[in-house]
């Protein structure tokens, strides 16, 4: 149960799902600050494992664009294969929508690529559907810095909450001095 003394815009591990959008080589090959994105998406997934937060990953047209890059694939939950889609918005893909609804989670933390296309459209559609959507700006990007910034600005204007990888993990962690806190410290340091 969520404690009423906490601000409703803070992420809670028992109400959050992390959505990893289209972390595929053809998109990442020319992405702005590729290593930052991969490192921060990886940290979010590892943190989710520590905090027992579900993770749902997507791919865009995997038959042509390939699967999730190996460094991310190896840390994704093994029994949850990436959901392949042809829509830009992950939420427009029935299998993704079903996965989100089945989770019962109402806070969605987005990461992946591209910020101004698939991440943005997913964020805005999920916001319209009544979810509280957060985006970790240091775990998303686009081919150009301008489009990355445009995506963040558009999401912010659409009511999406802007966060960072570290901020999101600490919000879900909630307190220091726990075994989870020590595990999260190892991930982010």
For residue 39, tell me if it sits in a domain.
Answer: yes
Query: What total number of domains does the chain contain?
Result: 1
CA-CA distance, 3 to 152, in Å (whole number)?
Answer: 29
> What pTM was computed for the model?
0.95
In a domain? residue 7: no
User: Distances from the Cα of 35 to the Cαs of 2, 29, 57, 63, 101, in angstroms?
Assistant: 35, 11, 19, 25, 32
Q: Examine residue 85 and state whether it is found in any structural domain, yes or no.
A: yes
Tell me the three-class secondary structure of 25-70, residue by residue.
Answer: HHHHCCCCCHHHHHHHHHHHHHHHHHHCCCEEEEEECHHHHCCECH
* 148, containing H or E segment: helix 145-157
Q: 130 in a domain, yes or no?
A: yes
118: helix, strand or coil: helix
Concerning whether 183 is annotated as a catalytic residue, the answer is: no
Q: Which of 5, 14, 22, 189 is catalytic?
A: 22
Instruction: Respond yes or no: is residue 85 known to be catalytic.
Output: yes
Catalytically annotated residue among 14, 106, 111, 118: 118
101 in any annotated domain? yes
Token pair belonging to 103: 């989770």
- Is 6 contained in some domain? no
Range of the domain at 148: 16-188
Q: Check 5, 14, 84, 85 and give the catalytic one.
A: 85
Res 189: pLDDT: 82
Q: How confident is the model over 44-62, as pLDDT tens digits?
A: 999 999 999 999 999 999 9
Give the domain CATH number at 183. Answer: 3.40.50.850
Residue 4 above 90 pLDDT?
no
Q: What are phi and psi of 48, to 5 degrees?
A: -60, -40
Residue 5 within a domain: no
**120 a catalytic residue:** no
Please check whether residue 8 lies inside any domain of the structure: no
Query: Over the stretch 94-139, which tens digit does the pLDDT of each residue have?
Result: 999 999 999 999 999 999 999 999 999 999 999 999 999 999 999 9
Asked if 59 and 65 count as a contact pair (C-beta separation under 8 A), the reply is yes
């Amino acid at each position: 149960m969520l404690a009423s003394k906490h601000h409703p815009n803070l992420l809670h591990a028992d109400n959050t799902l992390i959505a990893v959008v289209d972390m595929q080589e053809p998109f990442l090959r020319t992405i702005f600050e590729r290593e930052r994105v991969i490192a921060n998406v990886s940290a979010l997934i590892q943190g989710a494992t520590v905090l027992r937060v579900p993770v749902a990953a997507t791919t865009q047209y995997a038959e042509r664009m390939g699967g999730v890059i190996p460094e991310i694939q190896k840390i994704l939950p093994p029994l949850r294969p990436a959901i392949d889609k042809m829509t830009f918005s992950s939420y427009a893909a029935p299998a993704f929508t079903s996965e989100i609804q089945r989770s019962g989670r109402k806070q969605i933390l987005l990461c992946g690529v591209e910020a101004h296309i698939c991440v943005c459209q997913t964020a805005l559609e999920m916001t319209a559907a009544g979810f509280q959507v957060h985006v970790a700006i240091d775990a998303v990007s686009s081919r150009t810095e301008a489009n990355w910034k445009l995506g963040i600005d558009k999401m912010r204007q659409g009511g999406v909450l802007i966060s960072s990888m570290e901020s999101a993990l600490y919000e879900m962690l909630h307190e220091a001095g726990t075994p989870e806190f020590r595990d999260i410290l190892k991930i982010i340091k």
